[in-house]
Amino acid sequence: MTKRIFLSSPHMSGNEQKYINEAFETNWIAPLGPNVNAFEEELATYTETQGAAATSSGTAAIHLALELLGVERGDSVFCSSLTFVASANPILYLGADPVFIDSEEETWNMSPVALTRAMEEAKATGKLPKAVIVVNLYGQSAKMDELMTICDGYGVPVIEDAAESLGSLYKGKKSGSLGHYGIYSFNGNKIITTSGGGMLVSNDVDALARSRFLATQARDAAPHYQHSTVGYNYRMSNILAGVGRAQLEVLDERVKAKRDVFDRYVEALGGIEGVHFMPELEGTFSNRWLTTLTLDPNIVKITPYELMDVLEAENMEARPVWKPLHLQPLFEGCRFYGHDEESVVSERLFEQGICLPSGSNMTVEEQERVIAVLLSELNR
């Protein structure tokens, strides 16, 4: 069996051990420490935000952002439907009701048209959402100007879920820096990793200080252990933060590698009728975390799932596009607003989409192996 080609595996820089060794040599093994402080400062500098708070996961960062915005039982939170479940699970943690918003064609992200309709109906019922979670899918920024204008018009804060888009740009601004809060994930398959971890960023430094308090079990200032509010065990360890610091040093290299992978796929497959790659909105710069495309069933004879099976038989990992959350059993009965009356964009993308092997550490030769299989199947 030939060497397995993964969808997006961790890619170490070689400098991680330096920061890990420093943690061991200084005995900063427990959560928090110099690496955590430095990682927060360096990430805030990179994203051009006023501050950052390192967390145990991107999901934890979303949960903290919702808590900072006062989301509680009975409230509603609007959320992109075409995303991983972690974007919406924290809504349920707080007992609030998720309302899902469809995608649009140009970015595959939240539809301003659908969001406008959802906001109008919410205002008419006298119950605006406490927050809107906008996801930047597969590295591509949503139409943030339009979405922020809509939300600002109703006085609703935005959480920018940039778990997949660290290193991307929206009109020159860092993805994740445009909302009231931004979140990043450093899971093992992300463009940089701490094996597990996340980050909350904001220009509200007081809120970030509050997030750190909540993330360390909400311990009051007292010589004994005193707690007046519910807290969480959500802070990142000093060792993992050291890994993150080394990873952040090579983020721009990783973005270039991901974009090179995307460009090679486009060069090889872009001329095949019925094959459509995820677009890049004018004025944006995607990190191309994963190379994703759709197969038009009226033209292409093979389905995404059949193609995934063929690739798997060759020891190559591919995945479907996220199943929309409004179709998930967990969220049965939740409200959903489609892009228009003619079509539900997120459902079509799920039915026709596929994510190709896109690792920044995938060699050109390995990608050529994948492309050879794809050409054979797509040209049938």
Active site residues: 190
Task: Report the alpha-carbon distance of residue 357 to residue 92 in Å, rounded.
Answer: 32
Task: Report the alpha-carbon distance of residue 305 to residue 311 in Å, rounded.
Answer: 10
Place of tokens 């998720």: 98
Structure tokens given for 2 = 């030939």
Task: Count other Cβ atoms within 10 Å, centred on residue 173.
Answer: 15
Identify the bridge partners of residue 184 per DSSP, sorted by sequence position: 199
Cα three-residue angle 54-63-222, rounded to 5 degrees: 65
Tell me phi and psi for residue 323, to 5 degrees: -75, 125
Task: Report the alpha-carbon distance of residue 25 to residue 354 in Å, rounded.
Answer: 45
Place of tokens 């995938």: 362
Place of tokens 């590295």: 139
Q: Are 76 and 96 in contact (CB under 8 A)?
A: yes
Would you give the end-to-end CA distance of the chain in angstroms?
25
Sign of the torsion angle spanned by Cα atoms 282, 286, 288, 293: negative
- Closest of 326, 307, 325 to residue 317, by C-alpha: 307
